[in-house]
Structure 1
Amino acid sequence: MATPTLLSPLEVLRQFDAHDFSIDQFFQARLRRLSEQPMVEYQGSVTTWQSCAEQADHAVGWLLGRGVQAGDRIGLMAYNHPATVVLLIACARVGAILVPCNPEFEAREAQYIFEHAGVRGVICSTEALSKVQEATCLMSPAPWQVVIEQDQPDGEMSLLLQWQCSPPDLLTRTGTADSTCMIIYTSGTTGFPKGVMHSQRSYLLTAEAFVHRMYLQPDERLMCVLPLFHINALMYSLGGAMACGGTLILIRRFSASTFWQQAAQTRATEVNVIMSAAAILARRPIQEFDAQHSIRKMFLAPLNRDLLDTFQQRFHVPVLIECYGMTEIPGVLSNPFMGPHKLGSMGCISAHPDPAIERPQVRVIDEDGQDLPMGEVGELAVKTPTLMQGYFKDPEQTTASFKDGWFLTGDLVRRDADDFLFFFTRKKDIIRRRGENISGAEIDSAIGSHPDILECASIGVASDLGEEEILLAVVPRPGTTITPEAVHAYAQLQLSPIKRPRYIVMVESLPHTGSMKIAKFRLKPADHLRRQATDFSLQEVQP
């Protein structure tokens, strides 16, 4: 059988009418061509493009009936569900802003996000309802809360049923390309998450660029196992599926034991994973592998030789693409799909398929903002059309993140002769765990509030699953006898599983700078601390 001819990324995009980079026009351009084609598949049910459009009409009417206006923020604390796709399209039409939140967060963590964003209402999975209620109970005015699938205990109908009962709105088209469509909260060095604002334009530019990054075809079936509160799932999987006109295979939550079975049953052709999930898949019993799967390309980072060999040779996935991205600047660097591939690299500049679209630019600079020669380590600075609009209600932090118009990533990198970039380390107090940026300052603040703790410091240490694990060094308050087990129990009350330390070690003192700040860099390398620490790996979060 002849190998089908691949369309170029630009040919894929030009199958559809041109749009003005508003999500509504983008969606309508695809609807006109694909109305009866499957857009989302979820747990055996299929939502066509036409069905999604009709649901979005009802959702717009429902939002307006609730008094939602352009610029209003709508919280989302849910596991993956097709309603999120509809909600994104409906909010974009109204000009409202989606504020996704991890459903695994504790109420305290969700409270900060919802209060800071000033959400008008929150849509959630049933499992998250009690946390949403606790997180929003002190807000004034109190946000409304609606569960997606099941009726609430107080008798209010589920979101899906409310949409069905709401008159459709066919006229409202308030949102524009420059309207903020989402605020994604990401941890920062201050200890408080920052709300990254993205416009409809930057969302769509990122989505269309992903067609180029993974050479997506019109019949692509993208399996989405990552959560839709993260840019990877929202912009790359969902956005990429819409951009190429393919089908999004939506999985409620990642399950390593059923991953290959789901891949085979759904006939998925592409999937995005984080390294820790890939490492777990590589270690699962081979009996769980289903050789009938159709996955031909996988998007993940970072990638090492063992994982590359395992997925290509044992799991028969031909193409694995290593990349780099941040919530603030999605879709800037990637290993080229057609090659060359440099294992262990962040890749090189990944441009939009349309040459008329501004190309991203990167620099490697020193502390004074001067360009460094090839091979020297410096901070990665970026200019890109997918750049965030700024941090919500934080102009000072927004200004501090730029130097002479260049966004400062806080990542130290080096560039080779072919303009591929290689990650070295981070300038900021960020721990990269399970694909998430976790603020060390937030951990220190939460656990340091224990009355028996004088001070503590969290750092990232190497993980056998890739990326990092969290080690917490604790100085007990004089006269107390707190144990690692007590600290771990306190962490369970204060932090969501992804932020809880795996290693806890009691120390007599911590190093300090001249200004009496804890000098975390002096704790690394932390091999001696890890050897002394209590390992709580059996209670550790699984991705």
Structure 2
Amino acid sequence: MLPDPIDSLACWLGLAWLRAVETPINLQFHGRMLTYVINDAAASFVVTAERFLPVIAAVAADLKEVCAIVVPDLTEPVRVPSVPLVGGVDFFRDVEPASDLTPPLRHDISTMIYTSGTTGPSKGVLIPWGLWADLQETTGSHLNEQDITYDPFPMFHGGGKSLAQIAIRSGGSVVLREHFRTDAFWEDIKRWECTFTALLPAMAEWLLARPPHSEDDKSSLRRVGMVPIIPKIEEFKTRFRVQVQTNFGMTEAGVPIGTAPFTSDVTGNYRSCGRIGPSYEARIVDAYDYDVADGDAGELVLRSKLPWGLMCGYFGRPEVTAKAWRNGWFHTGDVFCRDADGNFYFVDRMKDALRRRGENISSFEVEALVNEHSDVLQSAVIGVPSEFGEDEIKVYIVPRPGVLPNPKALLDELAEHMPRFMVPRYLEFIEQLPRTEATLRVQKTKLREEWRNVRTWDRQIGQFLGTDTSA
């Protein structure tokens, strides 16, 4: 639990030479969630910074297998109940560099990253070093020793580790940050002369939302990885004079699909995640694992052509691992389709797919259409109960700064560009979408918890829910 990304990276790589397994912890965790991850991982040691010591101390009595808490930057002695506390001076006293160690191999476990746990308790994903090695061909083949990569993701997140890995393996340099900051992004790019970075859609939208500047197209940044591509991608490319790559990746599988390497214009097919990488195999299957035809939607399943290219399993959960790996393929839980040229298209998370009036609907596709509206900065779509069974569609919209759209007019405009069954019935304007700390993924479970409120416009009745029209 180290906030400094350089310390975190050094700790991770140092443990690798010892064949020890690192479990990075989200810096926002505390209380019950923190206790759960440490105990579920069967952690023997906790390495943290002094600023997080109160958070660790608060749960120390409930930690089952922790032998010691190591605080390299400890300045003041602190008593932690039940667990020995070791400061950096004592920890490194009389330590000499090891000379007889060998580097880790593909099959060695590099780290155990806990997933978000949206459908149940978070699970520890056992990631071998082979997974990181294979990232290079789908995400880092364009990099060389002259490139400087800007890594805005925390080291407890797979994205942070991925960018650091491909930069190191390319022989270039990497600038590490604890987290992404819109107001510091271009200043950092200029200061360190960064040439490559990766952005989540929310990050790209935040950068576009800033007032235009005469220096926007004059930075050292030349290439951006963006997953997925935002609707206003041409505006982004032109304004910042960058090339854009996209891909599909997940903690358990690395980045098996992508549009690398970069060219002068990656592709005009921005809805595609790219094609399968040389070291992977992919299929689109139905509920019984039979292949579906090109153009039809189904679950994306994967496997690696090389040993140890995907996750080794979920720690302590053999049944869950077996289910994910049934019939010899890793089941991603994502709905995809593929065209005749081998391009893969993300449709939706299986748990976020909607069904309305007999039609299967992708929340991802609805969001993409909503985000094309000039008044919309970001959106999130969820399914809510319908009095007729199946789902009704509710859209949460973050308006562009300084804009206050009319809900009826906005939905009417959207209806001109959507099939009737895809037009949201409900709309709520919101200042910001709830997101996870690490991945900035929209927390749709929170949106579903209190979807019915007086701020929600109902297109069917033409008024806000709970509005009294009897007076």
The 1:141–1:302 alpha-carbon spacing in structure 2 relative to 1, beyond 3 Å, is closer
The 1:112–1:265 alpha-carbon spacing in structure 2 relative to 1, beyond 3 Å, is same
Aligned 1:68-467 pairs, distance under 5 A = 77-154=1-78, 159=88, 162-163=91-92, 166-173=95-102, 175-188=104-117, 190-207=119-136, 209-212=138-141, 215-235=142-162, 237-287=163-213, 292-306=218-232, 308-317=233-242, 319-336=243-260, 337-338=262-263, 339-351=266-278, 359-384=279-304, 385=306, 386-428=309-351, 462=367, 466=378
Shift of the alpha carbon at 1:221? Answer: 0.5
The 1:167–1:406 alpha-carbon spacing in structure 2 relative to 1, beyond 3 Å, is same
Say which SS state the counterpart of residue 446 (structure 2) adopts. Answer: coil
Say which SS state the counterpart of residue 325 (structure 1) adopts. Answer: strand
State the alpha-carbon separation in 1 of the partners of residues 193 and 133 from structure 2: 26
State the alpha-carbon separation in 2 of the partners of residues 160 and 345 from structure 1: 52
Question: What amino acid is the match of 2:28?
Answer: E
Higher relative contact order (CA 8 A, sep 6+): 1
Shift of the alpha carbon at 1:87? Answer: 1.5
Shift of the alpha carbon at 1:229? Answer: 1.1
Shift of the alpha carbon at 1:466? Answer: 5.0
The 1:159–1:299 alpha-carbon spacing in structure 2 relative to 1, beyond 3 Å, is farther
Shift of the alpha carbon at 1:346? Answer: 1.4
The 1:496–1:365 alpha-carbon spacing in structure 2 relative to 1, beyond 3 Å, is closer
Shift of the alpha carbon at 1:315? Answer: 1.6
Q: Percent identity?
A: 24
State the alpha-carbon separation in 2 of the partners of residues 527 and 185 from structure 1: 40
Which runs of 5 or more structure 1 residues have no equivalent in the other structure?
Answer: 1-76, 352-358, 432-458, 474-494, 509-525, 534-543
Deviates more, 1:285-294 or 1:416-425: 285-294
Question: What amino acid is the match of 2:99?
Answer: L
Shift of the alpha carbon at 1:289? Answer: 5.9
State the alpha-carbon separation in 1 of the partners of residues 213 and 201 from structure 2: 21
State the alpha-carbon separation in 1 of the partners of residues 7 and 238 from structure 2: 37
Are the equivalent residues in 1 in contact too, given 2:303–2:329 (CA < 8 A)? yes
Question: What amino acid is the match of 1:90?
Answer: G
Residue by residue over 1:63-102, the C-alpha shift from the partner in whole angstroms, topping out at 9 and shown as x without a partner, is xxxxxxxxxxxxxx23242122222221111100010111
Shift of the alpha carbon at 1:160? Answer: 8.3
Question: What amino acid is the match of 2:19?
Answer: G
Are the equivalent residues in 1 in contact too, given 2:299–2:333 (CA < 8 A)? yes
The 1:414–1:527 alpha-carbon spacing in structure 2 relative to 1, beyond 3 Å, is farther
Shift of the alpha carbon at 1:409? Answer: 0.8
The 1:405–1:503 alpha-carbon spacing in structure 2 relative to 1, beyond 3 Å, is closer
The 1:160–1:246 alpha-carbon spacing in structure 2 relative to 1, beyond 3 Å, is farther
Shift of the alpha carbon at 1:418? Answer: 1.3
State the alpha-carbon separation in 2 of the partners of residues 228 and 378 from structure 1: 33
Are the equivalent residues in 1 in contact too, given 2:70–2:91 (CA < 8 A)? no
The 1:504–1:201 alpha-carbon spacing in structure 2 relative to 1, beyond 3 Å, is closer
Question: What amino acid is the match of 1:396?
Answer: E
Say which SS state the counterpart of residue 286 (structure 1) adopts. Answer: coil
State the alpha-carbon separation in 1 of the partners of residues 205 and 47 from structure 2: 33
The 1:126–1:532 alpha-carbon spacing in structure 2 relative to 1, beyond 3 Å, is farther
State the alpha-carbon separation in 1 of the partners of residues 350 and 231 from structure 2: 27
The 1:247–1:501 alpha-carbon spacing in structure 2 relative to 1, beyond 3 Å, is same
Q: Which of 488, 501, 524 is the equivalent residue of 2:446?
A: 501
Question: What amino acid is the match of 2:251?
Answer: T
State the alpha-carbon separation in 2 of the partners of residues 322 and 96 from structure 1: 33
Question: What amino acid is the match of 1:501?
Answer: K
State the alpha-carbon separation in 2 of the partners of residues 234 and 496 from structure 1: 16
Number of residue pairs the alignment of both structures matches: 381
Shift of the alpha carbon at 1:367? Answer: 1.1
Aligned to 2:412: none
Are the equivalent residues in 1 in contact too, given 2:39–2:64 (CA < 8 A)? no
Which runs of 5 or more structure 2 residues have no equivalent in the other structure?
Answer: 80-84, 355-362, 386-435, 467-471
Residue by residue over 1:193-226, the C-alpha shift from the partner in whole angstroms, topping out at 9 and shown as x without a partner, is 11110112222222465322xx111211001111
State the alpha-carbon separation in 2 of the partners of residues 205 and 330 from structure 1: 8
Residue by residue over 1:212-265, the C-alpha shift from the partner in whole angstroms, topping out at 9 and shown as x without a partner, is 2xx111211001111111111102x11101110111111222110111011000
Say which SS state the counterpart of residue 450 (structure 2) adopts. Answer: strand
Shift of the alpha carbon at 1:343? Answer: 0.4
The 1:165–1:222 alpha-carbon spacing in structure 2 relative to 1, beyond 3 Å, is farther
The 1:124–1:427 alpha-carbon spacing in structure 2 relative to 1, beyond 3 Å, is same
Question: What amino acid is the match of 1:326?
Answer: M
TM-score normalised according to structure 1 size:
0.63
Say which SS state the counterpart of residue 299 (structure 2) adopts. Answer: strand
Q: Larger % of helix: which? A: 1
Aligned to 1:8: none
State the alpha-carbon separation in 1 of the partners of residues 353 and 252 from structure 2: 15
Question: What amino acid is the match of 1:426?
Answer: R
Aligned to 2:395: none
Say which SS state the counterpart of residue 335 (structure 2) adopts. Answer: strand
Q: CA RMSD in A?
A: 3.5
Question: What amino acid is the match of 1:226?
Answer: F
The 1:176–1:496 alpha-carbon spacing in structure 2 relative to 1, beyond 3 Å, is closer
State the alpha-carbon separation in 2 of the partners of residues 135 and 467 from structure 1: 37
